Amino acid sequence: MARTGKAKAYNIEMYDALDEYMEEHPDTHVIYTSSAAVYGDRIEPQSEHSLVGPVNLYGQSKLIGEAYVQQYPKHTILRLSNVIGRGDGHGVYDSFLNGGTTIFGDGMNVRDYVAAGTVAGVIQQAAKYPERWQGITNVSTGEGKTVLEIFKEINGDGYEPVFEKKRPGDARYSVLDNTKMKGLLR
């Protein structure tokens, strides 16, 4: 089965399990972690009211998940920017922390990198105060950095990246407006 086929099968299995659970517990408030990838590739920071337009299969799959969760009356959708941690993930930031040097494209793609601790705190708040967090909220720093800037921050000037061909579907610019999140965290 192709990779996309496996992902589709996994999502269908997850949605079926959620439906089954919700039939027995209809008052449950569902929290879904989505992605900045649903917005696509736009030069300005995207707010929760921006039009969506994913440029890759990952963004499309997250948007489908959002539509699915919205069928339940009590739901929160958290659109996460690029989550970073201590090097135990799979993104470019974690790759650099683990000694990786590969940059796809010219390194000028801009991303909004949010700490895993921030994301965890938002999820905890959404679970504790579900009525406040109802609907869609961006989870981000609201600031963008290029992949090359991140590489230099982690590795200093003593290392040079290895540039590889740009991957299809990689957005050039992805930064989220976090005004709503900051207001909810007060």
**pLDDT tens per residue, range 54-99:** 999 889 999 999 999 999 999 999 999 999 988 777 789 989 999 9
Phi, psi of 180 (to 5 degrees): -65, -45
Helix ranges, 25-140 (H): 57-69, 92-97, 116-128, 130-133
CATH code that applies to domain 31-60+76-185: 3.40.50.720
Domain residue ranges in the chain: 31-60+76-185
Residues 106-137: pLDDT tens digits?
999 999 999 999 999 999 999 999 999 999 99
Predicted model pTM: 0.92
